[in-house]
Amino acid sequence: MIFTKMNGLGNDFIIVYGEQDLPVNAAELAVKWCNRFFGIGADGLVYILPSEKADFRMRIINSDGSEAEQCGNAIRCVAKYVYDYGYTVNSEITIETIGAGVQKVGLRLEGDVVKSVRVDMGEPILEGLIIPTTLNQSPVVNQSIEVDGQEFKFTAVSMGNPHCVIYVEDATQFDLSLWGPKLEIHPLFPKKINVEFATVRARDYVDMRVWERGVGPTLACGTGACATLVSSVLNGTADRAAVISLKGGDLFIEWDEKDNHVYMTGAADMVYEGRVPE
């Protein structure tokens, strides 16, 4: 199998092109290949597949073998991949996802080089039961959650996958590995959840760190950055356009008041190509 290693702000993926559908053993392959000691090493395994609805279809298998409905960093990597390898000559393409449907993607080019990717991430889902949480309310803002005797306040948003945003004094120093795994599997979240810890520094700048469902701590999360911007607007602490600063770099997120869509702009990079032996 030929693969390309790519990353979006350090959130790294094994990209595979050429399959007609998701292999039946994709979960097993993801666990094996994403292992950073005995495999290639990555946060997830991404297949670029044919689509009847869009230019391309994306399926993402997390490093634990579970499937992610959507991934903002992965979709930017997929867009750069198909352009750089000549599978499209267009700077505007569509990519089908299982969680957020067909998404429009714009490539920011300098000559023939993809410098950044802007993705229409669609409308945020704010209904508690659809996100899903066990709370029958909309929106789910500044709600209490308790873990091991510690109370947090969270806001829940789905960007095609579920997110729980918690505001802390300093997200960059927060003990992610202590609280992330406990919150991920909390009974309030029937399909588990991605957990973002955020600190609003200014109305146009937010620090964020993430514990990703099925992966653990990652350097960046595109859908998490979108959820954090939406959450911050709902809480009245940020404007509708802001830089979300992650450990791996910055994303520019906009929540458009006219169409209610969230737009994400950021980089994607190729690391190397390789071949998995038979």
Catalytic positions, written as ranges: 71, 221
> What distances in angstroms separate CA 191 from CA 67, 156, 158, 206, 232, one per listed residue?
12, 13, 12, 27, 23
| Angle, CA 105 vertex, CA 107 and CA 128 arms, to 5° | 145
Q: Residue 240: helix, strand or coil by DSSP? A: coil
Contact status, residue 168 vs residue 174, Cβ threshold 8 Å: yes
Specify burial of residue 93 (Cβ count, 10 A radius: 0-12, 13-18, 19+). Answer: buried
Residue in 91, 115, 87 with CA at minimum distance from that of residue 105? 91
